[in-house]
Amino acid sequence: MASLRSMELNINGVLHAVTLEPRVTLLDALREHLGLTGTKKGCDQGQCGACTVHVDGERVLACLTLAVQAEGREVTTIEGLSGEDGTLDVVQQAFLEEDAFQCGYCTPGQVMSAVACIREGHAGTDAEIREFMAGNLCRCGAYNGIVAAVRKAAQSVEGATA
């Protein structure tokens, strides 16, 4: 039987003690052990972006990250973006307003990438947005809405900090 490893994971500001096999991915730890199913599993091979989360503020693919690698770091998932009272993050709001999804399966990953896109200053033009978001696939083809949402959210973040 595989050995188990106890660890503490800081997810959305809350510490969770879990005991897992060392080979368990962050994605499976979130979805199957912590009940945080907002982060989606698409390909499970680093090719679709559905599992995008942030670790210490940088986006990572949770299917290519081991849970043990997240120990001692701050993980943010889609569940951690909205306010405690349910207020949507500016990016989530923009996705709603711009109809940036159809089935919604890719949306949590798109939103997490979009937050990083804006925070890291890659939302200056539509071409820049498309390039930064290129790893997040959308089988429904909602790309125009997604770019529009990122542009809108970037403008409102800029407006708020100007």
Residues that bind ligand FES (CB under 6 A): 41-44, 46-51, 61, 63, 101-107, 138-140, 142
Residue 83 CA to residue 63 CA, distance in Å, equals 26
Q: Which is nearer to ligand FES, 138 or 153 (CB)?
A: 138
Tell me the closest approach of the beta carbon of residue 1 to ligand FES, in angstroms: 27
Judged by beta carbon, residue 115 or residue 158, the one nearer ligand FES is 115
CA–CA distance, 115 with 103 (Å, rounded to integer) = 20
Closest separation between CB of residue 106 and ligand FES, Å? 3
Residue 49 C-beta: closest distance to ligand FES, Å: 5
Question: Of 65 and 118, which has the nearer Cβ to ligand FES?
Answer: 65
Count of alpha carbons within 13 angstroms of residue 61, beta-carbon side:
17
Q: How many whole angstroms separate alpha carbon 162 and alpha carbon 159? A: 5
**Pairing mode, strands 14-20 and 58-61:** unpaired
